[in-house]
Amino acid sequence: MHSDQRVALEKIRTVIADDHDDVGRRVAHRIAEVMRSRRAAGKRTVLGLATGSTPIGVYRELIRMHQQEGLSFADVVTFNLDEYYPMDPGSIHSYHRFMWENLFDQLDIPQANVHIPRGDVPREQIEAECQRYEEAIQAAGGIDLQILGIGRTGHIGFNEPGSGRESRTRVVTLDLVTRKDTAADFFGEENVPREAITMGVETILEAREILILATGEHKADIVRRAVEGEIDHEVAATFLQQHGDTTFYLDRAASAALTRIATPWLLGPVEWTACLAVRAVVWLSHQTGKAILKLTQRDYAEHHLSSLVARHGSPGALNGEVFNALGTKIRGRSKLPRGTRIICFSPHPDDDVISMGGILHKLAVNANQLTVAYMTSGNLAVFDHDVRRHLDFIARLAAERRIPEAAAVELQCQVNEFLARKQPGDVDTPEVQDTKRLIRESEAVAGIQTLGLEERSARFLNLPFYQTGKVKKDPIGPADIAIVRQLLDELRPEMVFVAGDLSDPHGTHRVCKEAVEHALDEYVAAGGTRPEVWLYRGAWQEWSVTEATWLVPLSQEELRLKIQAIFKHQSQKDTAPFPGPDEREFWQRVEARNKGTAAELDRLGLAEYFAMEAYVVET
């Protein structure tokens, strides 16, 4: 690939890291470099900081460097990008509290050096507060290094679509997409503030250096728009193209739509691998609207792929090779394991049936030794009205003398008293958390029984990292890994399924995968045989036919059975507490994506199936 072509297309310098954690380490180390350089020059460092899940890894690495390497923040001054309005600083939703809990409390930074927009000032004082914030930045000498994230609308800070380049710190009305994306943190969109105070675009661009972070495939399209698109006031991040020292830090998932990653052959010569050839031919099939076996020399020439044909000798040879490569990915029940010890690790108590309900049924029919290990309770994703409904049922049983009445009445009174005074975001009492956990456990058992598994196939690990009662979870720790390792030691699986998607809006899937990986490493180091690891996707995405190692066909009856298993999770039915950016019900997403995968093969000219699940085998 010609590097000058890539640079010309990418209007913002872009660094692609291995994963979310690597992004955090790289950015933290760059911050440390700036701090040390400024300190050596006898100057203090002024940092612009951001909130949200993306910079958490940066802050954890900075804390580690402070505690283990002596990196001091005693002379550092910070200014945060934004804050909701109105917002009490002590609220669990406030960015003030977020920053102290996730960074400042673990550093030696003086409280007077920390600046966060105030979301608790009276409305008539907001304009003066914003002006004061701008003046404080100028008085500190301006921002040396600004950290940014990017929203799905391309906003930086809370500079929503329509924000002007000349904008300064001000009150803004939050975009509908932003409020939907934030709804989970506030336990419902109706609880999300409609306004926020944010640094303006001009304020951000005055920083001497800017680092903007993005992780996860759900950010891939907006990243490409920001990096490769034209400057557009509807996409505030595109203004960063006018900054002299901005760097985008991406994990591989967030970089997937960049031209150099998605279609590198459009930029110049490439080194053709078997995988890249399959991707290119499938892309060409889409561009031309032709099945793979009908692609011609002219099609390849007109789309800059002549070198690929030359490598294979003729279009016919290339078409046949790719056609066969895709065909060999298809695995019906006869090609799936029999009598094998298998663990399906499910981050939440419905990911198993949503993501791999079809193959679970096939594996059960094939008489495998199946265990579904639910890694978290998922109790956060149960509405309070479901708790009331279940407790009402228990109270009615008690009233008919079918269970002891005193305990049932006491529990119902305790729970109803708490729920009556509960505010959005309040942490549930242990009684409420346990009730929600049991609701999800009973639904999980009903789900796998629908697929032909037995109740004893369900194991509820209830990993500690999840048990905060809040959307924000703890990092994975030794206790979490030990629980997973114990299950591996007990069952000695020959095959495991793990959630491998990177679009989970709260990162629970990613964290659970990390726990499994650490436990597997310990298990193998202790003499265990590493099982074959199959990765499935969650409720938001599916592996493409080019990414997938195996494609598992589902009949109409099997897809219907899978959907029936999803229906058993009634607490997630109709309207899930955390639906993500896609407002459709989980079963609707599943039906669309499984049918869509099958339709994709049909469009490419392969065999026609009713529906398909896709999996990637780790190597």
Catalytic residues: 160
How far apart CA 603 and CA 87 sit, in angstroms, is: 51
Output the DSSP codes for 376-440: S--GGGS-HHHHHHHHHHHHHHHHTTSS-HHHHHHHHHHHHHHHHH--TTPPPPHHHHHHHHHHH
CA distance 277 to 295: 14
Give residue 129's identity as a one-letter amino acid code: E
Backbone angles phi, psi at 361, to 5 degrees: -60, -45
Q: CA 248, CA 313: separation in Å to the nearest integer? A: 40
| Helices and strands, number each (H, E), in the chain | 21, 17
List, in order, residues 6 or more apart from 504 with CB less than 8 Å away: 347, 510, 538, 540
* Contact assessment for residue 181 and residue 505, using Cβ atoms and an 8 Å cutoff: yes
**Orientation angle between helical segments 556-567 and 586-603, nearest 10 degrees:** 160
Helix axes 586-603, 351-365, angle to 10 degrees: 60
> What separation in angstroms does the CA of 391 have from each of 149, 293, 417, 423, 439?
43, 61, 13, 20, 11
Q: How far apart are CA 157 and CA 570, in angstroms?
A: 37
- Ramachandran angles phi, psi of 39, nearest 5°: -65, -40
- Asked if 448 and 357 count as a contact pair (C-beta separation under 8 A), the reply is no
The residue behind tokens 């759900």 is 218
Q: Kindly give the pairing relationship between strand 550-554 and strand 611-617.
A: antiparallel
Any idea which residue has 């899930």 for tokens? 576
137 and 131 Cβ atoms separated by less than 8 Å: no
Selection from 577, 388, 349 nearest residue 471 by Cα? 577
Question: What one-letter code names the amino acid at 197?
Answer: I
